[in-house]
Chain A
């Protein structure tokens, strides 16, 4: 087959604009999903380390459920299934009045999926601080809340920074699944350019380079944060 190269395609109008709009949606989906994933993930990770059996169970069930179903299917469930199962008035509002349904569905789906993964990182981080520390905190008269606030979490938060970097990158990459419910983020836009111009290689190259640039930026930013908050005297290499 003969392929006609034209590297001006991804940097000419209107396609450059499409790519930039795709990049913006990728960042908007990933950013909002990250907020949900981080807050909920930290909460569930803490639940899984509490001394109460019931709390640990709730956390474990959440993590198991959200990690055992493919993200693509989870998005379809939120988009096609959940509105049908809700009370009629709520379903009506979602279908008729919710602005940007593809966007919010992607954010919720990706956020709740990623929360399960972040919960595991937080659980591991808190457990890595060690029983000794939490027992010492209790022995010195701190309440459970205080021992988490002043002893366990400040150390655990630093342990989880490197794995959180990869989870953040996963959110950026996984936001590409939003194209399956019709949100034209970066991957979706590059596929659209391919469909219109038949210059798929050029369009995919542009999108790929943007993803690589995003990754490198995120890694550099997280390294900087790790350096700033590093605890002096520990082995961790920064």
Chain B
């Protein structure tokens, strides 16, 4: 035991690589879905009719008060019941992440929108844009520019969270590592290797966000 057996890891690399690809697929699709849904929720909360705004607020606060594992288990249970046929762990996990992360993204986007000057909205509607157009073409582009670094930081957290699909047995990187580690009987080597991979990926991501932040300030 102890140390990282490189030959063993090389032999199992294709399987681990497939897992990593699944993790990234989940990340990118959940990011796209989560940010889109999050933007809608944020605009509805700020500019929507009262009952809808209250509904969006309940959605966001409700989801933020339950553990992600619980949400993943919920969708793993509900999706086949709702559609009446078996649904893969990937689809149910993707829906769970989209719905869950949208709540967190929407809070970031809401803060971003609120940081845009009110006069921008007034000027846009005065120049004949509808409320919807004003948000779509004037407010949101400015808000998104300001909050891109925070959205990316949240996405690094999301990448780490994808490891939780372990509880429904979806073969992401974490699950692939765990399966291999137990099959080969080398828990120490494989878990240390996985920690190294996550560390390098997340550190690189965080560094890039820092660089982006700096370059945005200097502009």
Residues of A within 8 A of B (CB): 1, 3, 64-65, 67-74, 76-77, 80-81, 84-85, 169, 173-177, 179-180, 187, 190-191, 194, 200-201, 204, 207-208, 211-212, 214-216
Given contacts A70-B161, A81-B191, 5 further A-B contacts (CB under 8 A): A1-B80, A76-B191, A187-B69, A207-B70, A212-B62
Q: How many A-B residue pairs have CB under 8 A?
A: 105
Contact residues of A: prevailing secondary structure: helix
Give the number of residues in B that approach A within 8 Å (Cβ atoms).
36
A72→B66 contact, CB < 8 A: no
A180-B65 contact, Cβ under 8 Å, with A84-B2, A207-B70: no
* B202 to A, closest residue via Cβ: A68
Q: Mark the stretch among B25-33, B44-52, B114-122, B163-171 that contacts chain A.
A: B163-171
Q: Which residues on the A side are within 8 Å of B163 (C-beta)?
A: 70, 72-73
Interface status of B17 (Cβ within 8 A of chain A): no
B187→A80 contact, CB < 8 A: yes
Measured CA separation A38–B84 after assembly (Å): 47
A68→B199 contact, CB < 8 A: yes
Measured CA separation A191–B67 after assembly (Å): 13
Q: Which residues on the B side are within 8 Å of A71 (C-beta)?
A: 160
A69-B202 contact, Cβ under 8 Å, with A194-B77, A204-B77, A211-B70: yes
Q: Which residues on the B side are within 8 Å of A73 (C-beta)?
A: 163, 174, 191, 194-195, 198
Interface status of B74 (Cβ within 8 A of chain A): yes
Bitwise interface map of B from 120 to 137 toward A, beta carbon under 8 Å scored 1, else 0: 000000000000000000
* A208 to B, closest residue via Cβ: B66
B192→A81 contact, CB < 8 A: yes
* B80 to A, closest residue via Cβ: A1
B65→A212 contact, CB < 8 A: yes
Interface status of B78 (Cβ within 8 A of chain A): yes
Q: Which residues on the A side are within 8 Å of B80 (C-beta)?
A: 1
A187→B160 contact, CB < 8 A: no
A176→B187 contact, CB < 8 A: no
A76-B178 contact, Cβ under 8 Å, with A81-B187, A200-B77: yes
Interface status of B68 (Cβ within 8 A of chain A): yes
Interface of chain B residues 181 through 219 with chain A (CB within 8 A): 187-188, 191-192, 194-195, 198-199, 202-203, 206
Interface centre among A69, A200, A208 (most CB of B within 10 A): A69
Measured CA separation A180–B191 after assembly (Å): 15
A72→B174 contact, CB < 8 A: yes
Measured CA separation A187–B67 after assembly (Å): 9
* B82 to A, closest residue via Cβ: A1
Measured CA separation A101–B199 after assembly (Å): 26
